[in-house]
Amino acid sequence: MRKKIVAGNWKMNMTKEEGQALISEVINMANDEVKSSTVLVLCPPAPHLGYAKKMFQSQSNVFLGAQNCHEKASGAYTGEISAPMLKSFEVDYVVLGHSERREYFKESDELLKAKTDQVLANQLIPIFCCGESLSQRQAGSGFIEFVCGQLTNSLFHLSAEQFAKVVIAYEPIWAIGTGLTASSEQAQEMHAALRKHIAAQYGEALAQEIPILYGGSAKPSNAPELFACPDVDGGLIGGASLKSRDFIDIAKAIK
Ligand code: 13P
């Protein structure tokens, strides 16, 4: 059985007080309402990581994620955060290659390859984001190959043992923060294509074990249909993860 994961990407939101309140609400609701087999990952901005872990240390299904890390282990890179540091703060997951980082910080497939190596070398789990732009989608063809290519370029140098640790998040750029969501047919089509692409490289058995999450304007109203798709293993949630009720309702959509 593949892991089912609902991860909240807070992006650059939340003061300390707001973050603490959100985490305590999420923990309380998760205890009462979310199946223990559903993995929750909270990905706050870096300043929250230290206290956040302490707040849910006793929760067996709540994990901590960072939103990024540097490709080097240490050094003179003012303002950056390394994978060994994240590990020392007991971070479990690291989001890599979010489209906002690809666009605003010019992160390339090549750079993300190095970041993935760094994350895995520190026993952290990468949540590797991929997805096409609106113009690529509207062109009507080639967008599936493009997204598969993002995996090839940044991940397919990994050994099967390393790749087995990776979580994929398909986030169509046109659906992020826009209120537009991929239909369940569009999500399933891409997720199945990604799994097939992984199977061609690593074999069917390994491909069947890789969680592939959907991200892009996921909310309580559309999560049940999206998560019912056979190749959709949960979600990477932006805006709706900032509201405890919405985030938990999305997590409850995992059957
Ligand atoms: P929204 O859920 O706000 O569309 O953001 C999705 C996302 O980018 C998660 O990483």
- Cβ(67) – ligand 1 distance below 6 Å: no
Show Cβ contacts of residue 216 under 8 Å, excluding neighbours closer than 6 positions: 131, 171, 172, 173, 174, 175, 176, 178, 180, 181, 182
236 lines ligand 1 (CB under 6 A): yes
End-to-end CA distance of the chain: 13
Taking the domains of the chain in order of start, what are their residue ranges? 5-252
pLDDT in tens, the chain (255 residues): 899 999 999 999 999 999 999 999 999 999 999 999 999 999 999 999 999 999 988 888 999 999 999 999 999 999 999 999 999 999 999 999 999 999 999 999 999 999 999 999 999 999 999 999 999 999 999 999 999 999 999 999 999 999 999 999 999 999 998 888 899 999 999 999 999 999 999 999 999 999 999 999 999 999 999 999 999 999 999 999 999 999 999 999 999
The Cα–Cα gap between 168 and 183 comes to 19
DSSP the chain: ---EEEEEE--S---HHHHHHHHHHHHHHHHHHS-TTEEEEEE--GGGHHHHHHHTTT-TTEEEEES---SSSSSS-TT---HHHHHHTT--EEEE--HHHHHHS---HHHHHHHHHHHHHTT-EEEEEE---HHHHHT-SSHHHHHHHHHHHHHTTS-HHHHTT-EEEE--GGGTTTS----HHHHHHHHHHHHHHHHHHH-HHHHTT--EEE-SS--TTTHHHHHTSTT--EEEESGGGGSHHHHHHHHTT--
Active site annotation includes 80? no
User: Tokens for 11?
Assistant: 């992006």
Nearest Cα residue to 8 out of 150, 169, 125: 169
Phi-psi region of 159 (alpha: psi -120 to 50; beta: other; left: phi over 0): beta
For domain 5-252, the CATH architecture is: Alpha-Beta Barrel (3.20)
Q: What is this structure's pTM?
A: 0.98
- The residue type at 95: V
| Residue 68 in contact with ligand 1 by CB distance below 6 A | no
Closest CA to 254 of 236, 238, 234, 229: 234
Q: What is the pLDDT of residue 179?
A: 83
Known catalytic membership, residue 98: yes
Asked if residues 238 and 11 have their Cβ atoms less than 8 Å apart, the reply is yes
Say if residues 144 and 195 touch (Cβ distance below 8 Å). Answer: no
Bridge pairing between strands 38-43 and 167-170? unpaired
Residue 57: per-residue pLDDT: 83
Question: Which atom of ligand 1 lies nearest, measured to the CA of 100?
Answer: 8
Which amino acid, residue 120?
L
Calpha distance 206→198 (Å, rounded): 8
- Separation of CA 145 and ligand 1 centre (Å): 22
- Find the catalytic residue in 48, 100, 171, 191: 171
